[in-house]
Structure 1
Amino acid sequence: MTTARRIRTTTRRPATSARSLDELLGDFGTRMPRTPPPAPHPPADRLFPYRVSPRGRHRTGHGWAPTLPPLPRYLMTSEQTPVLWPLIAGDGLPPTGAPMGYNVLSGGGFYCDPMGWVLDDAIPVTNPNVFIFGKPGRGKSALVKAFLLRMIRFGHRSLVLGDVKDEYEDICLALDVTPYRIGPGLPGRINPLDVGPLAVDWEAQDRAELHRRIQVVTSRWLTLVRGLVGSQGVPFTPTEERVIHQVLQDLTGWTRAQTRLRDVTVPLVWAALDEPTDDLVRGCRYDSRHHFYDSTRPLRDALGALCEGSLKGMFDTESTYRPNWRAPIQSLSLRALREQGNEAALAIALMCLSSWGQGARELAAPGDRRIVLRDEAWMQTRLGTEAVKTLDANLRLSRTDGDIQLVTYHKPSDPLSAGDEGSQAVQIAKDLLNLADIRILMGQDAKVADELGGLLGLTPMQQQIVTGWAMQEKGRALWMVGDQRYKVQTLLTPLEQQLTYTNEAIAAAP
């Protein structure tokens, strides 16, 4: 028994020599997976139950630092802040009107609604006129065409007063509208001295209404004649104005109290001056017919040049065009005149169409909203002071007529080419820029930066947007809506890209 007991004692291992499973797996470089202990539930009455030191948790991988980093400080203006933090943007415009693209700073859609902006007191816009500036090739024409097309669904129809290069022919044909062509040898005629819709129901009006209408018509005619005569370098003083005013009232029959107005044309005015009646000589307070001839010779020669020059047969007879105001768009094409290369004649034609368009809209029905496009307006303003005054008068009536006057230029200084620096024409041209609270600035060369700052009041950062960012891609523009600024990228549908393509001549070249 003693021997057996000794054998059992020697074969028993001590309890302290046993190895755990973790120790056995540790020999092979691994460990048993462990379940993390459950996190204690924070007290229900504490929003932030745990406090963490500003230096972080003193553990590996918890971002602990022995010293605190210096706190960065920035000093900048409110205009510079959105550049470093672009998500910080002001309130945008309401989503009404035509969707034009997206706001680059906010990423949201950008909508254009000139009439709605005028009616909204929260938006600093007091007139619906729109000026668009852009270097050729930056997408100016595409932006205009997209705006015209998209505003149709909101009840706006378009009137193109002088399509110089037939740029709007494609969208006219797409809308089943044939452009009306005017030019040498063509049958189309536009009478800029047309009475217009104010002649409707003339016999049924009382004397007060007739007096109001004749004053409106005569004022429009005087503005046009002043511009036409001024384009020939002839001064139009109050004396010339009195003579023309008397001639116009005699030709219409107003001085003879006729119940129906007679149509007036530029050749009729010229003929009345070339062979004046005794009543005209006395009414203008000239001593004799010879005195009348000597005093009015420059005026007669200026009107005669318009009747016998390059514009002969275009604006010297009654209008053959009868506008269809229910059509979505109407375009008056001047491409045939442009092909002659006479820039002065083309500018005079634009002035005549501008006056005719104003007269055609003098009795627009309430709610008949129209977008009046004045393309290549720089041609008209280069005719001189009186031509600038004519455009100025047309733009000032937009709020009363309920029309959106859309004017295109290449660069902000284009209107200033109306005369010498410091002249009256240049001063009026500068005031033209204030007749539009909505200005769209597309890509421009860096040398135009000073013009952007001096004429439009842009900051250096905003100038960089126009001369830098907007030049990197077509359709980019800085929108100035009152005193608000927006970086907008215009977006076109595939159909709009086809209708707004204007590089056919370049693409077709070998």
Structure 2
Amino acid sequence: MSRRVATLVTGERTRAQVREASRAERHRAAEMRREQRERDRQLKAAQKAIWAGDYLPPEGEAGPRMGRSLVPAHARAERATTRVLRTQYPFVAEEGLGSAGAYIGWDKLSRTAFCFDPFELYARRIISNPNITVSGAIGSGKSSLMKCLALRSAAFGRKTFVPGDVKGEWTPVVKAAGGAVISIGGADGAKLNPLDEGRRPERDLDGKVVTDELWARTVQRQRHSLLGALTSALLGRPLDQDDHTALDTAIDATVKRGGVPLVPTVVEELLAPSLTAGLPLGAATSEQLAAMGRAAGLALQRITRTGDLAGMFDGPSTVRFDPAAPMMSVDLRNIPQGSEALPLLMTCTGSWMESALRGADLGQRYMIYEEAHRLMPLPGLLDRMRDQFKLTRAWGTANVIVIHRLSDLDAVGAAGSRERAVAEGLLADTSTRVVYRQESDQLEAARRTLGMSEAAVRAVSHLIVGSGLWMVGKRTFLVGHQRTRWEAQVTDTDAGMGAGA
């Protein structure tokens, strides 16, 4: 009787062996699933523990060496090698604006060099326009900043023009740069004719050739804008339709009389119309036209025959404007700073200089309006400046407004008024805002006007001389301005007190 013998061939398994291997495989799979569930449970518990505490405040935890708080200017600097620092908060350091442009000083937060060129930043679309607002208390260093920016930018081919140097502080700077200074109100009796045509560009803002007819209309608008702003400021009210009609007719008649149009001639046409340009619609007789222009004529007469400005704008220009000069200023220090006519003088010199710089073929330049807060209470003058700002990008001009207090905007008018809107719109047309130290009573105005955070407001209140908060587009930097010895001597506006400003 034969017996069944189990196979001895290597690699083949019995049914019992297959069943045992399957049970072991299922056991291992179940064990792996249990381990995975345990790992998932531990991960969720760890994540829950991380977020169980209080969230970090937006400005970071307070305390020394936390590495997240806004560092005040007086904080003690910590030094370490890059090998150590590269592992600590590697994403906190600001990359800066790059090295293009004039060197300003140190970024106090990243400890790197801070360079600035509004034209370069506009080309890179970091800012929407090259205009700048600089504000700060007296003696905080804002004036020295602008003078050094002008001097250093000359190396990049940027020209600088100051139409109203009220204190004469720009005179040594302009002369040091090889520029020209025009002094008004001094012993030499220099005169400026604010009705000068100015420079005729080859093409207009739309790129069209400037014809004789187009040029005549442009000059007409320029003259009416200036005289209208001056008249409104002198009358203390907006111009009505009679004022506008009489003023337009007087300007036309002055031009048709031949020769160089002068303000005294316009005054004559307002008070005693010659009818050289005929009667406008709405005026039946010369007497009626004279009645319409009487208020404007008497107001403008104050800047030609009486008042602080008599003798400055009543004749042809005796000085020549040189647009090729690297720097140029109009020195107004001979005019009493408390004079009510000073804003009018600043407007006349500004209009005269702006008309001489008309066009985009003169290179990129700065127009620095020092003591711009003097114009704030006069809406008519602000209107004219606002219109000038609209030409910034077309003409390659960076307009710079220098003021002491942001609360000066409150003097323009009540919140919601048209006058207030014009002033705030002027500030809105500046993509770069530099805020130097503000007095305690100005902090709320700075926060409200510029939309500053609480951390930025606290930083501004403790800034030392020469340090400023730069808001460039949507980015903010804390910068310490640095000067060479030579620059300090040339730009020092506080020499009489024995300290730089």
Q: TM-score, normalised on structure 2?
A: 0.78
The aligned counterpart of 1:287 is 284
Kindly report the root-mean-square deviation, in angstroms, between the aligned alpha carbons of the 2 structures: 2.6
Asked if 1:453 is matched to 2:438, the reply is: no
The aligned counterpart of 1:462 is 456
Q: Give SS of 1:335's match.
A: coil
The aligned counterpart of 1:44 is none
User: Structure 1 residues 407-416 or 131-140, which shifts more?
Assistant: 407-416
Q: Deviations over 1:166-219 (max 9, x none)?
A: 111221232244521001653211111110122999xxxx99711221222122
Residues 434 and 469 in structure 2, CA contact (< 8 A), matched pair in contact too:
yes
Q: 1:101 to 1:244 in 2, by over 3 A?
A: same
Query: Which of the numbers 356, 374, 377 marks the counterpart of 1:379?
Result: 374
Q: What amino acid sits opposite 1:188 in the alignment?
A: A
Shift of 1:420: 4.5
Give the Cα separation in 2 of the matches to 1:170 and 1:331: 10
Q: Give SS of 1:282's match.
A: coil
The aligned counterpart of 1:275 is 272
Give the Cα separation in 2 of the matches to 1:117 and 1:207: 30
Q: 1:177 to 1:113 in 2, by over 3 A?
A: closer
Asked if 1:350 is matched to 2:346, the reply is: yes
Shift of 1:480: 0.6
Q: Give SS of 2:193's match.
A: coil
Give the Cα separation in 1 of the matches to 2:59 and 2:318: 55
Q: Give SS of 1:485's match.
A: strand
Larger Rg: 1
Give the Cα separation in 2 of the matches to 1:418 and 1:186: 36
Q: 1:300 to 1:412 in 2, by over 3 A?
A: same
Q: Deviations over 1:356-409 (max 9, x none)?
A: 12101113525x121111100111222x22111112112222112111111100
Q: Deviations over 1:239-270 (max 9, x none)?
A: 322332232233223xx9xxxx7421111110
The aligned counterpart of 1:404 is 398
Q: What amino acid sits opposite 1:501 in the alignment?
A: D
Q: 1:391 to 1:280 in 2, by over 3 A?
A: same
The aligned counterpart of 1:211 is 213
Give the Cα separation in 1 of the matches to 2:470 and 2:487: 21
Q: Deviations over 1:291-350 (max 9, x none)?
A: 222222211111111211221111121112212222221111000013xx4432111110
Q: Give SS of 1:196's match.
A: coil
Q: What amino acid sits opposite 1:299 in the alignment?
A: A
Give the Cα separation in 1 of the matches to 2:344 and 2:60: 46
Shift of 1:133: 0.3
The aligned counterpart of 1:365 is 361
The aligned counterpart of 2:112 is 108
The aligned counterpart of 1:506 is 497
Give the Cα separation in 1 of the matches to 2:197 and 2:162: 20
**Identical aligned pairs, as a percentage?**
26
Give the Cα separation in 2 of the matches to 1:396 and 1:193: 21
User: Structure 1 residues 314-323 or 75-84, which shifts more?
Assistant: 75-84
Q: Give SS of 2:303's match.
A: helix
The aligned counterpart of 1:482 is 473
Give the Cα separation in 2 of the matches to 1:424 and 1:207: 36
User: Structure 1 residues 390-399 or 264-273, which shifts more?
Assistant: 390-399
Query: Which of the numbers 244, 248, 261 marks the counterpart of 1:245?
Result: 248
Give the Cα separation in 2 of the matches to 1:83 and 1:305: 60
Asked if 1:76 is matched to 2:72, the reply is: no
Give the Cα separation in 2 of the matches to 1:461 and 1:327: 43
Q: What amino acid sits opposite 2:93 in the alignment?
A: A
After superposition, residues 80-91 of structure 1 pair within 5 angstroms as: 80=60, 83-84=68-69, 88-91=92-95
Q: What amino acid sits opposite 2:351 in the alignment?
A: S
Residues 416 and 430 in structure 1, CA contact (< 8 A), matched pair in contact too:
no
Q: Give SS of 1:198's match.
A: coil
User: Structure 1 residues 139-148 or 78-87, which shifts more?
Assistant: 78-87
User: Structure 1 residues 233-242 or 495-504, which shifts more?
Assistant: 233-242
Q: What amino acid sits opposite 2:280 in the alignment?
A: G
Q: 1:495 to 1:199 in 2, by over 3 A?
A: closer
Query: Which of the numbers 92, 95, 103 marks the counterpart of 1:99?
Result: 103
Asked if 1:389 is matched to 2:383, the reply is: yes
Give the Cα separation in 2 of the matches to 1:391 and 1:416: 18
After superposition, residues 329-348 of structure 1 pair within 5 angstroms as: 329-338=327-336, 341-348=337-344
Give the Cα separation in 2 of the matches to 1:351 and 1:343: 14
Query: Which of the numbers 419, 432, 436 marks the counterpart of 1:425?
Result: 419
Q: Give SS of 1:197's match.
A: coil
Give the Cα separation in 2 of the matches to 1:445 and 1:127: 29
Give the Cα separation in 2 of the matches to 1:207 and 1:363: 12
Q: Give SS of 2:399's match.
A: strand
Query: Which of the numbers 473, 477, 495 marks the counterpart of 2:486?
Result: 495
Residues 101 and 491 in structure 1, CA contact (< 8 A), matched pair in contact too:
yes
Give the Cα separation in 1 of the matches to 2:160 and 2:350: 14
Give the Cα separation in 2 of the matches to 1:386 and 1:376: 17
Shift of 1:417: 1.7
Q: Give SS of 2:406's match.
A: coil
Residues 182 and 330 in structure 2, CA contact (< 8 A), matched pair in contact too:
yes
Q: What amino acid sits opposite 1:248 in the alignment?
A: I
Give the Cα separation in 1 of the matches to 2:357 and 2:325: 15
Q: Which runs of 5+ in 2 are unaligned?
A: 1-48, 62-66, 72-88
How many residue pairs get aligned? The number is: 420
Q: What amino acid sits opposite 1:117 in the alignment?
A: L
Q: Which runs of 5+ in 1 are unaligned?
A: 1-69
Query: Which of the numbers 141, 145, 148 marks the counterpart of 1:146?
Result: 148
Residues 184 and 313 in structure 1, CA contact (< 8 A), matched pair in contact too:
no
Give the Cα separation in 1 of the matches to 2:248 and 2:182: 31
Q: Give SS of 1:405's match.
A: strand
Residues 253 and 276 in structure 2, CA contact (< 8 A), matched pair in contact too:
no
Give the Cα separation in 2 of the matches to 1:145 and 1:85: 29
Query: Which of the numbers 325, 328, 337 marks the counterpart of 1:327?
Result: 325
Residues 246 and 284 in structure 1, CA contact (< 8 A), matched pair in contact too:
no
The aligned counterpart of 2:29 is none
Shift of 1:287: 2.0
